Structure 1
Amino acid sequence: MRALIQRVSEASVTVDGNVIGEIGEGLLILVCAMQGDTEANADTLATKTSKLRIFKDDDGKMNTSLLDAGGSALVVSQFTLAADTSRGNRPGFSTAARPDVGEPLYEYFSDKMRALGITVAQGQFGADMKVALVNDGPVTISMEF
């Protein structure tokens, strides 16, 4: 699975003019299931994300995890993370998992984050979403497992 993780002071996702998920301090996690991904990939990504030390400690250094900071996560499905831009000017997305595989893995990832003790808000898989965020730092990290 691929993820683009952004440390935020706030973030929200809107579908059809309605806010369906929002958080204060925490992580906006754009996530994409790739062909061949399994629940094991989602487990690894969730565990690593929850323990990633990218929040400031009392000395102002990035030394605190989402779990330690008590922050929340806004998890948004983002199949365009699978973009292949190696040929031409139009990205290809053939390496993304099909929706019938991607959606359950997206839900599984979100549930795994909750099981780790993180408050999770979500986007809507496959919807046309508007994502708003205030990137804190900015801190943006990509990961793949």
Structure 2
Amino acid sequence: MKAVIQRVSEASVTIEGRKVADIRKGLLVLIGIEDASTTEDIQWLTSKIANLRIFGDENGVMNLSVKDIDGEIIVVSQFTLHASTKKGNRPSYIKASKPDIAIPLYESFVKQMEADLGKKVQTGEFGADMKVALINDGPVTIIIDTKNKE
């Protein structure tokens, strides 16, 4: 499981002209699921994201988490995070899970993220053609792969 976490001053997701998610200060989390992803990966990753200290404290030092600042989160499924570009110029997505595996894991990820954050998490729509808008604050972008958790 891979996540791209972006600290944002605002972010939104629009599908077919309809805004489905809209936050102010917080995190935009792009999540890529592969067949090897587990419930343990979900629990580890959501806890890591909720407690990641990437917001400035009173001294401007990145010392606060999204929970500490009462920030918001949007989670967007993005299978392209598992793109392989080793051969040629057309990426292969063979490592990304098919919907029958990915959807339940994505839904579990969102529920666990809400439990770790202690409030509702906004989302995109799995498999939809989404327009994601954000103002990356910093910019701060962190990439986490659960294969590298040890």
| TM-score bracket relative to the smaller structure | over 0.9
Unaligned runs of 5+ in 2: none
Q: Percent identity of the aligned residues? A: 51
Q: Residue in 1 aligned with 2:135? A: 134
In structure 2, distance between residues paired with 1:119 and 1:5: 17
In structure 1, distance between residues paired with 2:39 and 2:33: 10
> Which amino acid in 1 is paired with 2:124?
G
- Of residues 122-131 and 100-109 in structure 1, the stretch that sits farther from structure 2 once superposed is 100-109
In structure 2, distance between residues paired with 1:41 and 1:10: 27
Deviation at 1:118, TM superposition (A): 3.9
Query: TM-score normalised to the size of structure 2?
Result: 0.94
Deviation at 1:40, TM superposition (A): 1.3
Point out 4+ residue stretches in structure 1 off by more than 6 angstroms: none
Q: Residue in 1 aligned with 2:121? A: 120
In structure 1, distance between residues paired with 2:59 and 2:110: 31
Matched, 1:15 2:20: no
Q: Residue in 1 aligned with 2:106? A: 106
Deviation at 1:86, TM superposition (A): 1.1
CA contact (8 A) 1:55 1:66 kept: yes
Query: TM-score normalised to the size of structure 1?
Result: 0.97
Secondary structure at the residue paired with 1:74?
A: strand
Report how many residues are paired.
145
In structure 1, distance between residues paired with 2:39 and 2:76: 17
In structure 1, distance between residues paired with 2:32 and 2:102: 7
Q: Residue in 2 aligned with 1:78? A: 78
Distance 1:13 1:64, change over 3 A: same
Deviation at 1:21, TM superposition (A): 0.8
> Which amino acid in 1 is paired with 2:33?
A
In structure 1, distance between residues paired with 2:92 and 2:106: 21
Secondary structure at the residue paired with 1:69?
A: coil
